[in-house]
Structure 1
Amino acid sequence: MQSQINNFTKENIFSIETEEELIQAFRLRDQKKLILPERLQFPLNVRSYFTWKEPSGVYTYLVFKMPNWDLPRGVAFKRTAHSGESVGGLCNWCHAYGSSEEIGFLSVTMSAQVSNSYIICQDLRCIEKIEEAAMLAGKDPEKPIAELYRRMEKLFENISNYKPD
């Protein structure tokens, strides 16, 4: 993985060479739910992480790679249906505030009986929100971005270390 300096921060840059490599980043369980975006061109050069929603909006996909990982890893989040009136929420990853249409429960299936839920940005635009907030406040986003990367790394550690009873 390479690093690049932009106006704000040192960021993780990685490349996915083929569609097969992208598919292989996901667990078998998630590969079954995988709907790739149309007109995706390879090699795919990724700044920090790559995310997209499938057309129905039920699944949001995340592909991420830490510098010490050999390969990128992917996960399929399932959007938990919102019922009732719109309320505000705070993303646990980037601390952005938004309505329940913007911030909500995204769950990751761990087994047939277990899933973990996260209260995070529905579109996973966390890094952009951190950069925007830092720019508006005249602050350096380095620390919040490093914390975001740690939270994402922890998600993937939890997935890989999960052992059903």
Structure 2
Amino acid sequence: MQTSETSYQTEHVFSISSEEELISCFRERDQKKLLLPDNLKYPFNVRSYFTWKEPSGVYTYLLFKMPNWDMPRGVAFKRTHTGGEPTGGLCNWCNAYGSSEDIGLLSVAMNANVSNSYLICQDLRCIEKIEESAMLAGKNPDKNIADLFSKMSKLFENLSGSKKD
């Protein structure tokens, strides 16, 4: 496991060397809706995970790698719009609280017939929120970061275990 000198024990760093490598991290079904950020310079290093939104805000992308994985894996989340007045919510990944603009349902197509939805931070800034919360409380965030990574890896395990379309 490659770790960053200034990071916590549970974090790791990985590199993406080209646009082709980045695209290949995503499932074929997600590659079809993939819009890469304009400002990426290759190669680039990733601290723990990399996330971005496409311009319309419909899709949020997550690139993640566990130390025992051969290569990073990516997924496209689709924002689920819920009508009505803004409400509060709690992220299931980092336990941050926010309005429905901050915390919302993001869905992932598991296959042609099944989607899973997650009530999580819309911008997927979970690790930053965990670090900020730990710093304010004077606590070490390692356990919460490890829990976050466990939840993310579980998502990818479910994706790879879902029936192919």
Q: Under TM normalisation by the shorter chain, which class is it?
A: over 0.9
Task: State the TM-score, normalizing by the size of structure 2.
Answer: 0.96
Deviant stretches of 4+, over 3 Å: 7-10
Instruction: Tell me how far 1:9 sits from its aligned partner.
Output: 4.2
Shift in CA distance, 123/90, structure 1 to aligned 2, threshold 3 Å: same
Q: Which residue number in structure 2 is paired with residue 16 of structure 1?
A: 16
Q: Which residue number in structure 2 is paired with residue 146 of structure 1?
A: 146
SS in 1 for 2:11: strand
SS in 2 for 1:29: helix
Q: What residue identity is the alignment partner of 2:28?
A: L
Aligned residues of 1:8 and 1:131 also touching (Cα < 8 A): no
Unmatched runs of 5 consecutive residues or more in structure 2: none
Aligned residues of 2:3 and 2:9 also touching (Cα < 8 A): no
Task: State the TM-score, normalizing by the size of structure 1.
Answer: 0.96
Aligned residues of 1:101 and 1:122 also touching (Cα < 8 A): yes
Matched ranges for 1:116-155 at <5 A: 116-155=116-155
More strand by share: 1
Q: Which residue number in structure 2 is paired with residue 71 of structure 1?
A: 71
Distance in structure 1 (CA, Å) of the matches to 2:67 and 2:158? 18
Q: What residue identity is the alignment partner of 1:112?
A: A
Distance in structure 2 (CA, Å) of the matches to 1:17 and 1:67? 18
Q: Which residue number in structure 1 is paired with residue 97 of structure 2?
A: 97
Cα root mean square deviation, aligned: 1.3
Q: How many residues align?
A: 165
Q: Percent identity?
A: 71
Q: What residue identity is the alignment partner of 2:63?
A: V
